[in-house]
Amino acid sequence: MLPPDDKKREITARARQRGIILNEDHWKLIAISYEYYDQHRTICTLRNLIKLSGLEKKQIYKLFPGNPIGEISQITGLPMPKEC
Amino acid sequence: MPGDSKEFPLCHELMKGRSPSHVRELSNSRYPLAMYEHGLATGETAYGHGGYISIPELPSGVAVRNSCRPEIIEESAYLRILPPAGGWLSAVTLEKLASCAETYGKGLIHLTSGGTIEIYTTREQMVPMVRELNAAGLDIGSTGNDLRCLTACCGPARCDMALIDAPALATYLGQRFIDEQQYPGYPQKVKSGVAGCPNDCIRAMMQKDHSFIGVYRDLPQINNEVLAAWQEAGGDLAGLIAACPAGALTWTGTTLAIVPNKCWHCMACINLCPAIRPGRERGVAWVAGGKYGHRGPQGPMVGYVLVPFIPVKDDDYTAIGDLFGAFLELWADNARKKERVGDFIARVGPLWVLKELGLKVEPQILLSPKRNGF
Ligand code: SF4
Ligand code: SF4
């Protein structure tokens, strides 16, 4: 479930500001995160992201360096859980 | 030495005397002594809470402490280096660490109670320092919700009690699970330790989420000739018999014997008397859930002896690694957010864990689930 086009443009711009040029794999992870949030009202954890995407943890760290879930949250605006 | 006794009088008090002084070490480096003096003067540290920082190339092993006195130091960032198992560091490695601390840091190294090596530096210097450490065969990790460094006692490289090669097992697990130490992705941190025998000098059972303890399954071996010589030299036989926690040692009048079904296979008699040596059937006990931390419903706790004996033959640790990996997956999939291994096992029950892992339930797990291996 990808966000609407205007939201996608916003996400692309925000990612670029953070030094990330979004490719197909990035969008796959973003789509999963949106879908997960829609169902569970909380951002998808790294473990779930690994399982749902089929990508390796290391790959996800390469795509969204530092703190992948934090990056996805910053870029998409999906809120982090309170403890983070 | 930076700062004279007038500038930092309280620090200078702590440098007096012949015993090693931590302040002497701090003052011989570029550590900002004014920060420590502030703490001594006010009774409260000048450092604030910190956290893990995000350096794109370095997913783990980088962290920072905030400063309450930014005019002295803005923040204290540091790298956490994975230690070689068993606490073994050659002079060459120490020199490399020293040169990195000098070049990129404050000329100061911190050996943490968790077993890692920290070097204080700045965010900008981290990537070049890691490159240099990597070239010397060292790497960073062990921060955040990841598998923390694998610690071990010195093992047979130095200790005659060793029943298994603790540093070798820790190195095996460290190498097999290196990604887990460098890419955080668990619900909480996981600490692990390996002790060569139930003496557990590194106190793994009490402070590590996972400990692997060298054990023997047969009976301790008694050499009655050596025993006679020991007694002649003043060895206290009555004291030895009284020291057995299980009352398993008996004296027939001429020989010392062990009542087989009473013996706990501990180390008490072996530690006391050179005539008693550990049994020959060696393996590893897997203890899970130990922690010192007060957080979580269970507070500090000793781990559960989940598997009392995993045989180890020809230094093949594959079965232990498989079990460790399977447990980590099970825990990570079922733990609540921030739930340490001990709190998790207490909540779901050790029998559930064993069933999920397809392991046999040993009677002692039911009778005394947390009994210290010693
Ligand atoms: S735990 Fe056992 S093998 Fe390891 S150092 Fe202590 S006595 Fe020696
Ligand atoms: S190993 Fe422990 S329980 Fe067994 S005889 Fe020796 S002291 Fe007693």
For A:41-80, CB contacts with B below 8 A are 46-47, 50, 57-58, 61, 65-67, 70
Taking the Cβ of residue B183 and every Cβ of chain A, the question of whether any pair is shorter than 8 Å is answered with: yes
Q: What percent of chain B is predicted at pLDDT more than 70?
A: 95
Is A44 a residue of the active site? no
For chain B, domain boundaries: 9-135, 147-217+281-367, 221-277
- Residue B364 has what pLDDT? 59
Q: In this structure, is residue A82 part of a structural domain?
A: no
> Does residue B333 sit at the A interface (CB-CB below 8 Å)?
yes
Please state which of the four CATH numbers 3.40.50.360, 1.20.1600.10, 3.40.50.800, 3.30.70.20 is assigned to the domain occupying B221-277: 3.30.70.20
Closest approach of A77 to chain B, Cα-based (Å)? 18
Q: For residues B335 and B11, what is the distance between their CA atoms, to the nearest angstrom?
A: 45
Q: State the nearest Cα–Cα gap between A8 and chain B, in angstroms.
A: 23
Q: pLDDT tens digits, residue range A39-72?
A: 999 889 999 999 999 999 999 999 999 889 999 9
Query: Looking at residue B54, what is its pLDDT?
Result: 78
From the number of C-beta atoms within 10 Å of its C-beta (0-12, 13-18, 19+), residue B37 rates as buried
pLDDT tens digit sequence for B20-72: 999 999 999 999 999 999 999 999 999 999 888 878 889 899 999 999 999 99
| List of E strands, chain B | 47-52, 62-67, 75-81, 109-111, 117-121, 147-152, 190-195, 210-216, 221-222, 249-251, 256-258, 276-277, 282-288, 304-311
Per-residue pLDDT at A64: 94
A65: which chain B residues are within 8 Å (Cβ-Cβ)? 54, 56-57, 59
Among B151, B175, B187, B200, which residue's Cα sits nearest to residue B341?
A: B187
Q: Is residue A14 part of a domain?
A: yes
Architecture of domain B9-135: 2-Layer Sandwich (3.30)
Band of residue B368 on the pLDDT scale cut at 50, 70, 90: low
Query: Which residues touch B89 (CB under 8 Å, ≥6 apart)?
Result: B83, B97
Quote the tokens at residue B260.
Answer: 């087989």
Q: How many domains does chain A have?
A: 1
Distance to chain A for B109, nearest Cα, Å: 25
List, for residues B285-340, the tens digit of each pLDDT value: 999 999 988 888 999 999 999 999 999 998 899 999 999 999 999 999 999 989 99
What local confidence, expressed as pLDDT, does residue A6 receive? 82
Q: Which residues line ligand 1 (CB under 6 A)?
A: B 153-155, 159, 161-162, 166, 195-197, 199-201
The whole-angstrom distance between residue B96's C-alpha and the CA centroid of its chain comes to 23
Range of the domain at A29: 5-76
What is the per-residue pLDDT for B361? Answer: 81
Q: What is the mean pLDDT of residues B257-264?
A: 93
Cα gap B372→B374, rounded to integer Å: 5
* Partner-chain residue, chosen from B183, B332, B337, that has the shortest CB–CB distance to A58: B183
Asked if residue A83 belongs to a domain, the reply is no
pLDDT of residue B4: 60
Residue-level pLDDT at A55: 95
Q: What is the CATH number of domain B147-217+281-367?
A: 3.30.413.10
Of B290, B286, B249, whose CA–CA distance to B268 is shortest?
Answer: B249
Interface test with B, best of A21, A44, A46 (most B CBs within 10 A): A46
Ligand 1 atom having least distance to the Cα of B200: 1
Per-residue pLDDT at A2: 75
Annotate B292-313 with b (16+ C-beta within 10 A) or e (fewer): ebeebebeebbbbbbbbbbebe
Please determine, for residue B73, whether its predicted confidence score (pLDDT) is greater than 60: yes
Q: What is the pLDDT of residue B366?
A: 53
Query: What distance separates the 2 farthest-apart alpha carbons in chain B?
Result: 76
Residue A81 falls inside a structural domain: no
* Average pLDDT of the residues of chain B: 92
Is the pLDDT assigned to residue B362 strictly greater than 90? no
Using the Cβ of B241 and the Cβ atoms of chain A, whether some distance falls under 8 Å is answered with no
| Cβ proximity of B121 and B114 under 8 Å | no
Interface test with A, best of B146, B177, B183 (most A CBs within 10 A): B183
CB B278 within 8 A of CB B220: yes
Q: Any chain A CB within 8 A of the CB of B179? A: yes
Q: Is the confidence at residue B369, as pLDDT, over 70?
A: no
In degrees and rounded to multiples of 5, residue B369 shows phi and psi of -60, -25
Query: Which residue of B216, B222, B249 sits with most ligand 2 atoms within 8 Å of its CB, as the best mutation to test the pocket?
Result: B249
Q: What is the model's pLDDT at position A80?
A: 81
Q: Best mutation site among B88, B151, B154 for ligand 1, i.e. most ligand atoms within 8 A of its Cβ? A: B154
Same CATH fold, B221-277 and B147-217+281-367? no
How far apart are the C-alpha atoms of B202 and A18, rounded to whole Å?
Answer: 44
Lowest mean pLDDT among A19-23, B243-247, B294-298: B294-298
Q: Is the pLDDT of residue B173 over 60?
A: yes
Residue among B264, B267, B271 whose CB has most ligand 2 atoms within 8 A, to mutate: B264
- Residues of B in Cβ contact (< 8 Å) with A70: 54
Report which secondary-structure segment, H or E, holds B158: none
- Asked whether the predicted pLDDT for residue A84 surpasses 50, the reply is no
Alpha-carbon distance values, B214 to B149, B266, B319, B321 (Å)? 19, 11, 15, 15
Predicted confidence at residue B372, as pLDDT, reads 45
B59 touching chain A per CB within 8 A: yes
Provide the CA B130 distance to its chain's centre, in angstroms.
24
Residues with CB under 6 A from ligand 2: B 220, 244-246, 248-249, 258, 263-266, 268-269
